[in-house]
Structure 1
Amino acid sequence: MQLTHLLPAAVLGAGLVQTGVFPVPDTPYRVQWTSSELVDHARPDPFNSSHPRRIMISRFTPIPARDCLQTCRVPYMTPLMASHEDAVITAFLARGNISWPRGVLASLELEVCCKVLRRSSSSSKNNNARSFGVGLKSSVPRGTVLVGTGLNTTRLMYSASAQNLAAGMGYDVVVMDHPYETDAVQFPDGSVIYGGRVPRDPNATEALAHALDVRSQDAALVLDYLGIGQGCGERVGFAGDSFGGPAAADVMLKDRRVGAGVNVDGMMFGPAVNVGVARPFLSLGSPGHNSTSDETWARFRDATTANNSRVWHKELSLAGSVHGILSDFGLIGDVAGLRDSGELVGSLFGKITGARTIEILKEYLSDFFEFALKGKGQGLLAGPSQKYPELIFV
């Protein structure tokens, strides 16, 4: 395995005029953002055997606020990626005769920790990474959560949410791209691999099964890179949005290092639908999406119960949300002032604000992973909460 690294936006996006900044999470942590290219020379790319598998990841590492010596604002996306995503969103919305304001993505910034107090007692496998930070991590995060993106969707569309989750949970949060599936992946050398090899058609079962297997192998590559060995499942969770949901279950079947999984509004695919999983799993849907309306959820639930009767599994629903709950769309609607557009609210953002969505996700996912990975009490997962009435137990 060969690793190379890049500054995800500061270098390639320099010179942009920025107009919108995602709010810094109000927690005891600041967050360092590192993007890395991982190359596995032992595995030919499953979509293009002419070269070894190479992927991009974004890693969001929580830093105690006292140890973050400096923060800086960095572009949310490179100009190339912002332009490409504008085109993707425009084409998606055009089917409903809805317009997308091009240039919004290129105008956004994240505020991250870019200078970290060096502590001689700390160490990190990624010390030589080029990142938005200087020095070593001053403390070890409580664990690691992998984030799986929606089908064809760039990892960059999850950066603000990942930053918030890392700051709120105190976990390393790692978001993955999957070249040839992901709509576009830009590498440190400037090269770009465009997607389109995996159709969005839910009936394309063979192609989707192949994509799930590729994602599971990519996740194993990431865990190897992070230095997480077998027997460390109690420290690793997987939260997947849309197609990332079945990917979470698929990884859990194939890699015991992942000790807990979350499906955020994804239809289930792959072998897990029929055999379930053997470790804790949480399903979170948009209104009306649950095991009573989606037979893949029902089959997955029934298989989990039949084959692993003692395994914890619950279903929740987030009122006011739309598909893509874990993505940044809700926060983009907030920051870019786009919530006056009822059409965009209904299609991309949801009636619940991005700020409220991420607050709920931070609290419930934190309690879930502390329960599932650390053996603590269920916390908010024990039952309905007056503080979060939007979160409905199904």
Structure 2
Amino acid sequence: MRQLLAVAAGLAVLAASACSAPTPPRPAGVAATPTGPATLPAPTGPHPVGTTALHLTDTSRPDPWNPDTEARELKVTLWYPTGQRGGRRAPYMTARESELLMKGSRITGAPYDTLSRTRTNAVEDADPAGRKLPLVVLSPGFTKPVSTLTSLAEDLASRGYVVAGIDHTYESYATTLADGRVAECLACDSDSDPGFGTGVVQGRAADVSFVLDRLTSGWKHSGLIDRSRIAMAGQSIGGAGAVATMVKDSRVRAGIDMDGTTYARIPESGLSRPFMFIGSPQHVPGGRDPSWDRDWKRLSGWKRWIVLSGAEHHSFNDTPLLMGALGVKPPADALPAARAAELTRTYVAAFLDQHLKAQRQPLLQEPSSRHPEVEFCPASCGRS
């Protein structure tokens, strides 16, 4: 249920869910003077970070959104540890991608190339370092490019993970393909159709399986990846895609849904691999979105359900970090951008360290006085 808005409601476009449970109206962000280019927070791990982009074509299936295309084209952005500390920092996105994203979101309070000037931390096309590292697949929310998960991706790479972020072509406002064409959001014309969410997550599961095939056997640096240690995390419908992928592909050992209504039904036999829900207060038990209540009962392995007080739907991606540059002021009661990024990075990394690196994490066992915004559900979770 993609919400379109005018510039005065710029925050609502960024902070409302695409394909998520309905959220009651709240005051939109007010226009403010843009602060200049955004700077992503520095990664917290010990390794410098490199990044590169791959353009992959799946000739085994047609594109689900473009009837004129007989194969599925995907852009995959990789982040990984590197020994290279100097070098050109990778662009956050191109000027054209920034323009299309801002226009699609109806944000007009800043120049259309604003997001292309966001400062990242990863060195473009740096040589990877290491071998047999765990792999984390990231999937973004509907209409959003995977670059909106860059802060999380850079942090995980600095901690010793290979991260593969997938741009699901025609499901975001802009994806630059191998020949320079920019694919726009064809799926946006269908998002009110019955069964839309279910179709999207099934397609994303197919995208992920294809990417895993290529990264673990056809990529020149496939030796970087430990095929036995693969996880997936996604925001919004990307989180729903993590559920769908785990149901279909046993290579994904663990999964995280960041504030996404789920659409893929878990079989009655259950899903026994580790899974974590982490979300905003709309996802408390018995809250506005019933899908987590339903799926929680069918998660039969290690599981956690965490809610961050004050979080918005997009507190789990880069959006809050970009609002100042876009000239949008968040609501006064929203979780501050830097804190939202810190909590997301901390709890996602703890989950992955426990389940892909076998490092027990006390942080995941009970509430922490250092993180009072974090509630463990369903036992001690209040309602918003």
TM-score interval for Structure 1 and Structure 2 normalised by the shorter chain:
0.7 to 0.9
* Alignment match of 1:277 (pick from 271, 274, 279): 271
Residue 61 of structure 2 is aligned to residue 52 of structure 1: no
Q: Deviations over 1:116-150 (max 9, x none)?
A: xxxxxxxxxxxxxxxx22xx422136311111111
Query: Higher relative contact order by CA 8 Å / sep ≥ 6: 1 or 2?
Result: 2
For residue 348 of structure 2, the aligned residue among 332, 342, 365 is 365
Contact persistence 1:89–1:100 (CA under 8 A): no
1:218 alignment counterpart: 207
Report 1:174-323 matches (<5 A): 174-197=164-187, 204-227=193-216, 234-272=228-266, 276-293=270-287, 294-304=289-299, 308=300, 311-323=301-313
Contact 1:330–1:350 (8 Å) recurs in 2: no
Separation of aligned partners in 1, 2:244 and 2:168: 15
- Show the counterpart of 1:345: 330
8 Å contact from structure 1 (residues 249, 277) kept in 2: no
Corresponding pairs, count: 333
Is the Cα contact below 8 Å between 1:367 and 1:378 reproduced in 2?
yes
Q: Which amino acid aligns with 2:121?
A: E
Residues 369, 196 of structure 1: CA spacing in aligned structure 2 closer, same or farther, 3 A cutoff?
Answer: same
Superposed CA deviations along residues 163-205 of structure 1, whole A, max 9, x for unmatched, are 12322x321111111112222211131112222325685x744
Deviation at 1:35, TM superposition (A): 1.0
Q: Which residue is equivalent to 1:125?
A: none
Q: Is the 8 A contact 1:31 1:62 kept in 2?
A: yes
Shift of 1:106: 3.0
Percentage identity across paired residues of the two chains = 28
- Post-superposition offset of 1:19: 4.2
Q: Contact between 1:262 and 1:284, CA under 8 Å: does it hold in 2?
A: yes
**Runs ≥4 residues deviating over 4 A:** 198-201, 273-276
Matching of residues 41-120 of structure 1 within 5 Å: 41-49=59-67, 50-63=69-82, 67-90=83-106, 100-103=109-112, 104-114=114-124
Structure 2 unaligned segments of length 5 or more: list them: 1-35, 378-384
Aligned to 2:17: none
CA distance in 2, matches of 1:60, 1:364: 19
| CA deviation profile, 1:53-83 (whole Å, cap 9, x unmatched) | 11111111122xxx22413234321111011
Q: TM-score, normalised by structure 2?
A: 0.79
Change in 2 beyond 3 A, CA 1:100/1:19:
closer
Matches within 5 A, 1:157-176: 157-167=148-158, 169-176=159-166
Alignment of 1:326 with 2:336, yes or no, is no
Q: Alignment partner of 1:75: what SS?
A: coil
Distance 1:392 1:78, change over 3 A: same
Q: CA deviation at 1:350?
A: 7.3
The CA distance in 1 between the partners of 2:210 and 2:333, in whole Å, is 34
- TM-score normalized with structure 1 length: 0.77
Deviation, 1:24, is 2.9
Secondary structure at the aligned position of 1:180 is classed as coil
Please report how far the alpha carbon of residue 352 of structure 1 lies from its aligned counterpart in structure 2 after TM superposition.
Answer: 2.4
Bigger shift: residues 318-327 or 43-52: 43-52
Match of 1:12 in 2: none
Task: Provide Cα deviations, 1:298-344, integer angstroms capped at 9, x if missing partner.
Answer: 1111233xxx3xx111111112220023321122236x385xx5xx4
State the 1:85 CA deviation: 0.9
Secondary structure of the residue that 2:283 maps to in structure 1?
coil
CA distance in 1, matches of 2:132, 2:345: 15
